[in-house]
Amino acid sequence: MDLRLSEPDRRFRDEVRRVVDAELDPATRSRMEAGRLPTKAQWVAWHRALARRGWSVPEWPKEHGGPGWDAVRRYLFRETLQAAPAPQPQQFGTQMVGPVLIAFGSEEQKRRFLPRIVGLEDWWCQGFSEPDAGSDLAGLRTTARLEGEHWVVTGQKTWTTLAHWADWMFALVRTDPKAAKPQAGIGFLLIDMRSPGITVRPILTIDGEHEVNEVFFDEVRVSVANMVGDPKRGWDCAKFLLAHERAGQARVGIAKERIRRLKRLAADARSPRGRLIDDASFRDRLAAIEVEVKALEITCLRVVACEARRGGEPRPDPASSLLKIRGSEILQALATLTLEAAGEAALAAPEEQPEPARNDPLSLPDWAARSAPLWMNWRKLSIYGGTNEIQRNIMAKAFLGL
Amino acid sequence: MDFELSEHQRLLRDSLSCLLRDRYGFDRRKAYARAPEGWSREVWHAFAALGLLALPFAEEDGGLGGGAVETMLVAEAFGESLVLEPWFATVVLGGGFLRHGASPDLRASLVPRLADGEVLLALAHAEPGATSAVAEVATRALRDGERWVVSGRKTLVLHGDVADHLVVTARVAGNPGEGQGLAAFLVPTNAAGLSRRVLRTNDGRRAADVVLEHVFVGERCVLGEPGAALGLIEQVQQEAIAALAAEAVGVMTLAHRLTVEHLKTRRQFGRPIGSFQVLQHRATDMLIALEEARSMAIYAAMSLAEPDAGERRRAFAAVKALIGRRGRFVAETAVQLHGGIGLTMDYAVSHCMARLVGIDAIFGNAAHHLACLADAGGLI
């Protein structure tokens, strides 16, 4: 047993750090520091910078443009980006539809779509959830009716993250309404977002952000060439995708970055007992979270080391449910601590363009103004990608046989 | 990075689990616990025969040269069977002081007998009224020619009731709380001026209160450097925390396994209670806590090799804090999911709870170590 990284792996991590420091746009970084998504232009620019080094699809096999890293390097890469903080390669293409196409897609689909994912020439969005199909995804009702060489799609998707930026959607659609089981008769369909009959309507969340949308389909015609695999076996693709999505959800690097940041902020913030950083109750609570981050990190490394020994591309592992549950809970606890650190200043809404290093004693610090929106936004972490309750169901079944 | 066991380590784990399966079923454990000392000499000699008592000592001293991972495996297996024998006191604590602090001559005379199960050791460090801070030692040691004279009061000396020798920490200079001036001595329990009173611990073990009044200790029985033994005491305490963490993982494993079995077999409302989602989720949270604890036990074993003393101190504070909290969580959840049966003396789950609470308490509980970690600037 040995917890230390090998010398080549350490050098690899340093190289990733160096590239991030040299090439990440400071404006992108400061948006990430504020806990916001990058703008589309920022994200595309960064993704392409990674792509130029062959780093934009860490999990893919080499033949499709992957860098050929083992699980340890894939982990180090993602963690280093998180800790910077820098955006990850855009995930809808690289971690969701890409692996599905590699596993289930036709040769033509791979040729057509995979290279454009590597360079983020197509922005993908995920058409899974519907108003009546959330955790019970198999209850989805958007239909695709076969008419000659086209599937005709009618229905509605919701919570579609960044659909307003998307060129393409991968969607689950009901191809056989008379199938015996709800999971049967579902297809995995690739839909051009510029097709006639698609309407994208924003859903504004309480933090003031526009991340998610409703997407309506009214007799949208999609070529049969865009169906991935068997039109009645799309559920296999969905399960494959969801299991992949959960992998790497521990977000240890984000937690570390938030902790370092919170310590800096707490040196300036005040509590009734003096400086916040000197307040024993604050310090003990922060220390408790740091301990939990360490336990999560080692657990994550155990999963990663196991994967690295097995070799090859990532495979679904129910242990990733554990990582997702604890990763989300820890970030939410950090957001709570930051919110409390802000005190009354958490009431003020953030300004769109905060002055970088302003020393105006009359104005409230930007981090404090951001603390409430971030706290509210991060409630999503235990909801999306399979709620934490669904993750516990998965674990109870897989590990406990309950 | 590597989390795999070597062939040797796997062999150790398997033969140990075989021995415990044969000799340490819960009904047998009840019988061992009823003995006046609260454990079984016969089992102790079986441990000796398997080499468990010799394991961490260097081969030139009569040991087997095992490392942190071997100790982790033994502690975890002992935890899973709720083993009562004084392995922790004798091999981890007493043995730790011998390994790191004793002269070659003293090691040569004691280690082989300890390895054979003939000699029992205990650590007399904690004092009445002191906090868990390592340097809160008021017991005094004064030089008297070639000898030392030790006087003071010690408490919670685990297995001090049966030990043949005590490792006694004392102060040759300075005041309680100061890192400078600490020393450690090996004192036979039949020494003139040493008296003991037996205590019971809440987790079914024995301990002792010890009073030392002008106890003479020869130069040969000095452990480490008198006046500069803080590092030695900390090192043994860190090894002890690593062993406790692994033991806690074993105890939590047992508590979790019993709970999942209970959920599958106990029927209410016409079906197994494990079909209720709220109970499934709590059992899942126990599993998460167990895996976090396991990660920290591994982290502890690996951190023993960390060269930076400050870094090591922070790591062990983190380990003890997480083990304490997760241990108590698993214990209380196991009992809750069992209902009243989980509180009975007759059933193993209650003993898991008692031990996990005990493990939290030894060498500073979670609250103590969180405060230490926070004062040291945290981990990140």
The pLDDT averaged over each successive group of 10 residues in chain A (402 residues) is: 94 98 95 91 98 96 94 94 96 96 97 98 97 94 97 98 98 96 96 98 94 98 98 95 75 95 89 89 96 96 89 76 96 96 88 57 73 94 93 94 92
Provide the token pair at B212: 């030392």
Active-site annotation holds for A297: no
**A window 86-125, beta carbon within 8 A of B:** none
Name the fold adopted by B7-119: Butyryl-Coa Dehydrogenase, subunit A; domain 1 (1.10.540)
**Contact A347/B at CB under 8 A:** no
**Cα–Cα distance list, B327 to B79, B250, B352 (Å):** 12, 10, 9
Nearest CB partner across the interface for A260, out of B288, B301, B380? B380
Residues of A in contact with B260 (CB under 8 A): 400-402
Query: Residue B80 and residue A63: Cα distance in Å, rounded?
Result: 48
Closest chain A C-alpha to B163 CA, distance in angstroms: 34
Q: Give the torsion sign (CA, A381, A384, A387, A392).
A: negative
Element spanning A391, H or E: helix A388-400
- As a residue count, chain B comes to 380
Q: Which residues contact B63 (CB under 8 A, 6 or more apart)?
A: B54, B55, B56, B57, B111, B115
From the candidates A59, A245, A257, A307, which is the catalytic residue?
Answer: A245
Interface pTM (ipTM) of the complex? 0.92
Closest chain B C-alpha to A312 CA, distance in angstroms: 17
Residues of B in contact with A322 (CB under 8 A): 287-288, 291
Residue B293's closest chain A neighbor by CA?
A295
| B88, B240 contact by CB (below 8 A) | yes
Task: List, for chain B, all residue ranges whose pLDDT scores fall below the cut of 50.
Answer: none
Instruction: Extract long-range pairs of B308-314: CB within 8 Å, 24+ residues apart.
Output: B309/B231, B309/B234, B310/B376, B312/B238, B313/B234, B313/B372, B313/B376, B314/B373, B314/B376, B314/B377, B314/B378, B314/B379
Closest chain A C-alpha to B377 CA, distance in angstroms: 8
A15-67 per-position pLDDT tens digit? 999 999 999 999 999 999 888 899 999 999 999 999 999 999 999 999 999 99
Query: Residue B336 and residue B222: Cα distance in Å, rounded?
Result: 49
| A99, A240 contact by CB (below 8 A) | yes
Residues of A in contact with B294 (CB under 8 A): 299
pLDDT of residue A363: 59
Closest chain B C-alpha to A30 CA, distance in angstroms: 21
Residue A389's closest chain B neighbor by CA?
B281
Residue span(s) of chain A under CATH 2.40.110.10 come to: 124-233
Q: Which residue, among A259, A341, A258, A287, has the nearest Cα to B376 in the 3D structure?
A: A287
Yes or no, beta carbons of A302 and B295 under 8 Å apart = yes
Q: Which residue, among B234, B292, B283, has the nearest Cα to B261 in the 3D structure?
A: B283
Neighbours of B133 (CB within 10 A): 13
**Contact A299/B at CB under 8 A:** yes
Neighbours of B1 (CB within 10 A): 17
Residue B306: burial class (beta carbons within 10 Å; 0-12, 13-18, 19+): middle
Q: Which residues contact B273 (CB under 8 A, 6 or more apart)?
A: B262, B263, B266, B267, B279
The three-state DSSP-derived secondary structure of chain B is CECCCCHHHHHHHHHHHHHHHHHCCHHHHHHHHHCCCCCCHHHHHHHHHCCCCCCCCCHHHCCCCCCHHHHHHHHHHHHHCCCCCCHHHHHHHHHHHHHHHCCHHHHHHHHHHHHCCCCCEEEECCCCCCCCCCCCCCCEEEEECCEEEEEEEEEEEECCCCCCEEEEEEECCCCCCCCCCEEEEEEECCCCCEEEEEEECCCCCEEEEEEEEEEEEEHHHEEEEEEECHHHHHHHHHHHHHHHHHHHHHHHHHHHHHHHHHHHHCEECCEEHHHCHHHHHHHHHHHHHHHHHHHHHHHHHHHCCCCCHHHHHHHHHHHHHHHHHHHHHHHHHHHHHHHHHHHCCCCHHHHHHHHHHHHHHCCCCHHHHHHHHHHCCCCC
Provide the token pair at B255: 């508590």
Yes or no, beta carbons of A326 and B296 under 8 Å apart = no
CATH of segment(s) A247-400? 1.20.140.10
Residues of A in contact with B5 (CB under 8 A): 1
Q: Is A83 helix (H, G, I), strand (E, B) or coil?
A: helix
pLDDT of residue A365: 76
Residue recorded with tokens 């021995």: B19
Residue B250: burial class (beta carbons within 10 Å; 0-12, 13-18, 19+): buried
Residues of A in contact with B69 (CB under 8 A): 1
Residues of B in contact with A291 (CB under 8 A): 318, 321-322, 370, 373, 379
Estimate to the nearest angstrom the gap between the alpha carbon of A338 and the chain centroid: 22
Residue B281's closest chain A neighbor by CA?
A392
Name the fold adopted by B231-375: Butyryl-CoA Dehydrogenase, subunit A; domain 3 (1.20.140)
| B373, A280 contact by CB (below 8 A) | no
Residue span(s) of chain A under CATH 1.20.140.10 come to: 247-400
Residue B301: burial class (beta carbons within 10 Å; 0-12, 13-18, 19+): buried
Closest chain B C-alpha to A223 CA, distance in angstroms: 43
Q: Chain B interface residues facing chain A, Cβ-Cβ under 8 Å?
A: 1-5, 69, 260, 263-264, 274-275, 277, 280-281, 283-285, 287-288, 291-296, 298-299, 301-302, 318, 321-322, 325, 367, 370-371, 373-375, 378-380
Using only the alpha carbons of chain A, give its radius of gyration: 22
How many alpha carbons fall within 13 Å on the CB side of residue B146?
Answer: 3
B323-378 per-position pLDDT tens digit? 999 999 999 999 999 999 999 999 999 999 999 999 999 999 999 999 999 999 99
Residue recorded with tokens 């981890």: B92
Query: Residue B189 and residue B194: Cα distance in Å, rounded?
Result: 7
Closest chain A C-alpha to B26 CA, distance in angstroms: 23
Residue B346: burial class (beta carbons within 10 Å; 0-12, 13-18, 19+): exposed
**Contact A283/B at CB under 8 A:** yes
**Cα–Cα distance list, A350 to A160, A344, A346, B244, B248 (Å):** 25, 13, 9, 48, 46
Yes or no, beta carbons of A3 and B322 under 8 Å apart = no
Estimate to the nearest angstrom the gap between the alpha carbon of A332 and the chain centroid: 15
Q: Dmax of chain A from CA atoms?
A: 74
Yes or no, beta carbons of B1 and A301 under 8 Å apart = yes
Provide the token pair at A347: 């009431």
Query: Residue A396 and residue B280: Cα distance in Å, rounded?
Result: 6
Yes or no, beta carbons of B291 and A299 under 8 Å apart = yes
What end-to-end distance do the CA atoms of chain A give, in Å? Answer: 32
Residue A296's closest chain B neighbor by CA?
B292
Domain residue extents for chain B = 7-119, 122-228, 231-375
**Contact A317/B at CB under 8 A:** no
Instruction: Extract long-range pairs of B364-367: CB within 8 Å, 24+ residues apart.
Output: B364/B132, B364/B133, B364/B320, B365/B132, B365/B320, B365/B324, B366/B320, B366/B321, B366/B322, B366/B323, B366/B324, B366/B325, B366/B328, B367/A284
What does the DSSP 8-state code read for residue A94?
I
Residue A261: burial class (beta carbons within 10 Å; 0-12, 13-18, 19+): middle
Residue A388's closest chain B neighbor by CA?
B281
Closest chain A C-alpha to B374 CA, distance in angstroms: 5
Interface test with B, best of A1, A254, A317 (most B CBs within 10 A): A1
Residues of B in contact with A396 (CB under 8 A): 280-281, 283-284
Residue A7's closest chain B neighbor by CA?
B1
Give the phi and the psi of residue B286 in degrees, each rounded to 5: -65, -40
Yes or no, beta carbons of A290 and B379 under 8 Å apart = yes
Yes or no, beta carbons of B299 and A302 under 8 Å apart = no
pTM check: above 0.90 = yes
Yes or no, beta carbons of A402 and B260 under 8 Å apart = yes
Give the phi and the psi of residue B3 in degrees, each rounded to 5: -110, 15
Name the fold adopted by A124-233: Butyryl-CoA Dehydrogenase, subunit A; domain 2 (2.40.110)
Q: Which CATH superfamily is domain B122-228 in?
A: Butyryl-CoA Dehydrogenase, subunit A, domain 2 (2.40.110.10)
Instruction: Report the share of chain B in percent with pLDDT over 90.
Output: 99
pLDDT of residue A247: 58
